[in-house]
Amino acid sequence: MSSTIAMALTSISHVTMFSGGRPVEGYLAPPGVDFVQLPAIRKDRADAASTAVHLGYTMAEIERMRSKLLVESYRRIKPRIVIIEHFPFSAGRWGETLNELFEAINKEQDRPIVICSIRTYPRWGAATDTDYGWINEQLRVNFSCVLHHVDSNLFPLTSLGYYIQSALSGVSVWQTGFIRRPLIQMDHDRPSNGLLLTVGGEALPVLSF
């Protein structure tokens, strides 16, 4: 999904995409998109703690390296818009990675637009370990809006339950529709629409342009 968003944005500006998940063999960034691989982490199970992909590093070291690279890249690129996937939802996955980035952004006199991007139907609920009040505060302080990639006719905000509605209370939310990467080898003569795409893994994309 992040590649699809990045590719679409190349029509209006330059895009840099960051990924914090384990490298995907053979992956090529869309044409016109710069790609930066952060030191990778993984989760072997949904309820498991994140671990470093490369042995020999602690998670604290990985967090510091990821944070430093993001801040250095932000100051070099000077983006006008920053899109961060899934944070502050499921915040425990990201640890300290984004703290210094937000500090750098919030010190700017002319701050970029910062957007939270969430996909399809959120699977968070009462079992989450992230307080919805904290999520709401992060969205209000650090973000300009939330992009929810779902058809509002199928999943209106009022259908998302108390937890999600509370996390999004008073926050600008745009429901963009489903986002799908066309699978050309399977499409043949059929149009590339109408299919819901869900993506797993530990990616932490930050799309800057």
The amino acid that residue 174 corresponds to is W
Q: What is the pTM of this model?
A: 0.80
Domain extents for the chain? 2-22+33-208
pLDDT exceeds cutoff 60 at 126 = no
What would the pLDDT profile of 136-159 be if each residue is shown by its tens digit?
Answer: 999 999 999 999 988 888 889 888
> Mean of the pLDDT values across residues 27-41?
88
- Whether the CA torsion 180, 3, 38, 82 is positive or negative: it is negative
Contact 84, 93 (CB under 8 A): no
- pLDDT band at residue 51 using 50, 70 and 90 as cut-offs: confident
Locate 36 and state its tokens. Answer: 């930066």
pLDDT of residue 182: 53
Q: What is the mean pLDDT of the chain?
A: 81
Residue 203 has pLDDT above 80, yes or no: no
Instruction: Say what the pLDDT of residue 134 is.
Output: 93
In this prediction, residue 42 has a pLDDT band, given cuts at 50, 70 and 90, of confident
The pLDDT of 68-72, averaged and rounded, is: 96
Give residue for tokens 């998302």.
160
- 128: confidence class by pLDDT, cuts 50, 70, 90: low
Q: What is the pLDDT of residue 33?
A: 92
Contact 74, 208 (CB under 8 A): yes
Which pLDDT tens digit goes with each residue over 76-86?
A: 999 999 999 88
